[in-house]
């Protein structure tokens, strides 16, 4: 058990370091990291959806098209990229007759687009703050939910989907996300509207966690994959980001840019 926890901790620190390095760099490196993660997530989504190996490969090829055009050296985030995303979604439905598999294309690409959109805001330091907010509050939510759930316990949040999650854990996650939001407001210039909305993103992150838990329960597996020692698959680490990042971009559009 101690060895497993040590492995989990080491891999977790490495993952956060890689994410922060790419985030600070921005541009091409950030796109590469997000795109690689996106293709791997599509593969895991296909596995959890129970489709054939051929349909899995086809969906991975399909999702790589909008991800590729998002490259800063190509079209980047544009209406063309959004059009390709819609085309990839419809193509997977037409080729596989599986709406569930096609939903993976949206599940993968929307958070990638959202994070690239937030990171691309000017000035550069502001874009960095926005993208860091979208990522850090998910990490804070996980940590807050873990410690609040273990120390307080209480009624289960969704016992049929994830027996370990509690309402107290959700509350702890929301409080931790709000703390991160207001710290970024105080020290990094995050707009107060977004700091106050951080609790909503914590709920979205937990919803993403529950969505993946439901998929794993239906597939009869413990993890979405085995790529990350002690953590499972890429989806296991980014399920909260997948749902929180698009909402973060939407809140920025509605509350700040409006």
Could you read off the pLDDT of 101-112 as tens digits, one per residue? 999 999 999 999
- Report the Cα 32 to chain-centroid distance in Å: 15
pLDDT tens digits, 189-225: 999 999 999 999 999 999 999 999 999 999 999 889 8
pLDDT at 136 (0 to 100) = 94
CA geometry: angle 40, 24, 115, nearest 5 deg:
50
Question: Across all residues in the chain, what is the average pLDDT?
Answer: 93
Nearest-angstrom CA–CA distance, 137 and 174: 9
pLDDT at position 125, please?
A: 95
Rounded-to-integer distance, Cα 20 and Cα 23, Å: 5
- pLDDT tens for each residue of 114-157: 999 999 999 999 999 999 999 999 999 999 998 998 889 889 99
> What's the rounded mean pLDDT across residues 67-91?
96
Cα–Cα dist 243/215, whole Å: 15
pLDDT band at 1 (very low <50, low <70, confident <90, very high): low
Measured distance CA(250)–CA(244) in Å, rounded: 10
Statement: residue 230 has pLDDT above 90: no
Lowest-pLDDT choice from 24-38, 146-160, 240-254: 146-160
Closest CA to 190 of 175, 178, 176: 178
pLDDT at 153: 83
Give percent above pLDDT 90 in the chain: 83
Q: Tell which residue, 150, 122, 139, 252, has the closest CA to residue 197.
A: 252
Cα dihedral 81, 202, 217, 219 in deg (nearest 10): 10
Q: What is the pLDDT of residue 11?
A: 79
Q: What was the pLDDT predicted at 2?
A: 58
Q: Which of these, 148, 171, 169, 173, lies nearest to 159 by C-alpha position?
A: 169
Contact, 165 vs 157, CB < 8 A? yes
Q: Give the Å distances, CA to CA, from 251 to 138, 170, 198.
A: 15, 21, 10
């Amino acid at each position: 058990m101690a060895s497993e926890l040590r492995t989990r901790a080491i891999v977790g620190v490495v993952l956060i370091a890689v994410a922060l390095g790419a985030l600070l760099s921005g541009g091409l490196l950030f796109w590469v990291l997000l795109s690689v993660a996106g293709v791997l997530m599509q593969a895991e989504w296909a596995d959890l959806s129970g489709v054939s190996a051929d349909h899995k490969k086809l969906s991975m090829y399909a999702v790589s098209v909008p991800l590729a055009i998002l490259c800063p050296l190509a079209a980047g985030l544009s209406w063309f990229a959004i059009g390709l995303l819609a085309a990839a979604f419809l193509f997977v439905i037409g080729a596989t007759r599986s709406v569930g598999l096609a939903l993976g294309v949206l599940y993968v690409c929307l958070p990638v687009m959202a994070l690239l959109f937030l990171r691309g805001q000017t000035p550069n330091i502001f874009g960095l703050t926005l993208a860091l907010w979208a990522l850090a509050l998910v990490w804070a939510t996980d940590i807050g939910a873990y410690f609040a759930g273990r120390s307080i316990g209480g009624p289960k949040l969704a016992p049929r989907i994830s027996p370990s999650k509690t309402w107290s854990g959700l509350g702890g996650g929301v409080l931790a996300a709000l703390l991160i939001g207001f710290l970024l407001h105080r020290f990094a210039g995050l707009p107060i509207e977004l700091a106050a909305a951080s609790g909503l993103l914590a709920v979205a992150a937990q919803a993403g966690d529950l969505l993946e838990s439901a998929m794993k329960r239906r597939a009869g597996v413990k993890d979405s994959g085995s790529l990350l020692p002690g953590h499972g698959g890429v989806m296991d680490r980014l399920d909260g980001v997948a749902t929180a990042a698009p909402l973060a971009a939407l809140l920025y559009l509605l509350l700040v840019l409006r």
